[in-house]
Amino acid sequence: MAAVLNGAPVAERAGKYLTFDLGTELYGLPVLQVREVIGIQATAKVPHTPAHVKGVINLRGKVIPIVDLRMKFGLPTAEHTDRTCIIVMQLAGRGTSILVGAVVDRVSEVITLSAIDIEDTPDFGDGTTLPYVLGIAKMRDGVRILIDPDCLFEVGELGHLANVPHGGDQP
């Protein structure tokens, strides 16, 4: 997935996006990878995971991880309001798809973008890339940063100790 990312044919990026706010920025997620939007709820903390992993919740019988996108993107944390919610995204996993919830400030609308609306992420000249940015959508009132949920997390990122050799037998 990552390989296609920045060189992805522009046409493939056209489509519907669900937009949401984090602080003052507006973002977009491909609507096909949004499973549902749910209200904020108490999470059970999972030990040995990075700070942006808030824990796990019960989504109708499934245990799914919840990630704070503000923390993931390095934005200042904010108090939860009644607009704060969780977008449940469907990511491509090994074999099956995985559900991951992302905490965002506010969900706004679904927009339809055509290929000409979307531009590649500019080159910042410092050699850094943002693998999870699919492109930048130019709108009349500003831009939407389009996120590729499949590249949001690196392998094992949600449990960063996952690859540490572990002596005990996990039942």
Binding mask 55-94 for other proteins (x = CB under 8 A): xxxx-xxxxxx---------------------------xx
Give the Å distances, CA to CA, from 95 to 62, 84, 98, 116, 148.
18, 32, 9, 33, 19
Q: Which of 86, 78, 125 is nearest to 107 (CA)?
A: 86
Q: Which of 101, 108, 142, 148 is nearest to 7 (CA)?
A: 148
Nearer to other proteins, 27 or 153 (CB): 153
- Contact in structure between 100 and 92 (CB atoms under 8 Å): no
Stretch of 1-9, 36-44, 72-80, 111-119 lying at the interface with other proteins (CB under 8 A): 36-44
Among 14, 31, 37, 46, binds other proteins (CB under 8 A): 46
Say whether residue 161 binds other proteins (CB under 8 A): yes
β-pairing, 62-68 vs 97-104, is parallel
Minimal distance, residue 137 CB to other proteins, in Å: 28
* Interatomic CA distance for residues 30 and 150, integer angstroms: 11
- Estimate to the nearest angstrom the gap between the alpha carbon of 125 and the chain centroid: 25
Stretch of 1-9, 30-38, 39-47, 107-115 lying at the interface with other proteins (CB under 8 A): 39-47
Minimal distance, residue 53 CB to other proteins, in Å: 9
Q: Is 79 helix (H, G, I), strand (E, B) or coil?
A: coil
Site for other proteins in 98-157 (CB under 8 A): 98, 100, 153, 156
H or E stretch at 31 = none
- Contact positions toward other proteins, by CB under 8 A? 42-49, 55-58, 60-65, 93-94, 98, 100, 153, 156, 158-159, 161-164, 166-171
